[in-house]
Chains A and B, each alone.
Chain A
Amino acid sequence: MSDRPTFTRPARIAALAPYLWMALFFLVPFGFVLKISLSQTAIAQPPYLPVFDLTQGLAAIEAALAALSLDNFRLLISDNLYVLSYLRSLVVAAVSTSILLVVGYPIAYGMARLPQRWRGIAMMLVIVPFWTSFLIRIYAWINILQHDGPLNKVLLALHLVSTPVVWLSTDSAMYLGIVYSYLPFMILPLYATLAKMDPALLEAASDLGASPRRAFWLVTFPLSRPGIGAGALLCFIPIVGEFVIPDLLAGSNSMMIGQTLWLEFFTNKDWPVASAAAVVLLLLLLAPLSFYDRLQRRQLESAR
Chain B
Amino acid sequence: MAEELSKPEPPSATDVPLLRIDAVVKKFGVFRAVDRLSLDIRAGEFFALLGPSGCGKTTLLRMLAGFETPDEGRILLNGKDIAQVLPHRRPVNMMFQNYALFPHLTVRDNIAFGLKRAGMRQSEIAKRVAGLVALLKLQGLEKRWPDQLSGGQKQRAALARSLARQPQVLLLDEPLAALDKKLRESTQLELMELQRRLGMTFIIVTHDQEEAMTVAHRIGVMDAGRLEQVATPRELYEAPNSRWIAEFVGDVNMFEGQVSSREAGRLTISTRDAGAIIVAEPRQPITKTAVCVAIRPEKVKLSRRGLVPDAANAQAINRLEGVVTDVGYLGGLTTYKVKLDTGAVLRSSMANTARLDIDSYNASQRVMAWFTPDDCVVLEQ
Contact = CB atoms under 8 A, between A and B. Distances in A.
B113 interface: yes
Interface string B194-229: 000000000000000000000000000000000000
A160 B273 CA distance: 90
Contact of A200 (B98, B113, B145, B164): B98
A28 interface: no
Interface in B63-98: 65-67, 86-88, 93-94, 96-98
B108 interface: no
B65 A207 contact: yes
A204 B96 contact: yes
A207 B68 CA distance: 12
B165 A208 contact: yes
Interface string B95-111: 01110111110000000
Given A198-B100, A214-B117, A223-B104, A208 B147 contact: no
A215 B67 CA distance: 14
Nearest to A215: B88
B100 A208 contact: no
A21 B56 CA distance: 57
B114 interface: yes
B65 A210 contact: no
A203 B87 CA distance: 8
A208 B102 CA distance: 12
Given A200-B96, A302-B147, A304-B147, A206 B102 contact: no
A281 interface: no
Nearest to A198: B100
A215 B113 CA distance: 11
Contact of B88 (A211, A303, A304): A211
A201 B147 contact: no
A201 B86 contact: no
Contacts of B162: 207
Interface string B12-39: 0000000000000000000000000000
Interface string A206-232: 111111001100110011000000000
Nearest to A208: B114
Q: What secondary structure prevails in chain A residues at the interface with B?
A: helix
Contacts of A303: 147
A251 to B, nearest CB: 44
B161 interface: yes
A207 B88 contact: yes
A103 to B, nearest CB: 25
A267 to B, nearest CB: 51
Q: What secondary structure prevails in chain B residues at the interface with A?
A: loop
A5 B16 CA distance: 63
B264 interface: no
B311 interface: no
Interface in A263-304: 302-304
A247 to B, nearest CB: 42
Contacts of B114: 207-209
B67 to A, nearest CB: 6
Contacts of A209: 88, 114, 117-118, 165
Given A214-B117, A302-B147, A204 B88 contact: no
A56 B162 CA distance: 80
A304 B67 CA distance: 31
Nearest to B65: A207
Nearest to A302: B147
A226 to B, nearest CB: 10
B88 A223 contact: no
Nearest to B98: A200
A61 interface: no
A144 interface: no
17 contacts: A200-B96, A200-B100, A201-B102, A203-B87, A203-B94, A204-B101, A204-B102, A207-B93, A208-B93, A208-B114, A208-B117, A208-B161, A208-B164, A209-B88, A209-B165, A302-B103, A302-B145
Given A206-B88, A219-B102, 13 more contacts: A198-B98, A198-B100, A203-B65, A204-B94, A204-B96, A205-B102, A207-B87, A207-B88, A207-B114, A208-B88, A208-B165, A222-B104, A223-B103
Interface of A: 198, 200-201, 203-211, 214-215, 218-219, 222-223, 302-304
Interface of B: 65-67, 86-88, 93-94, 96-98, 100-104, 113-114, 117-118, 145, 147, 161-162, 164-165
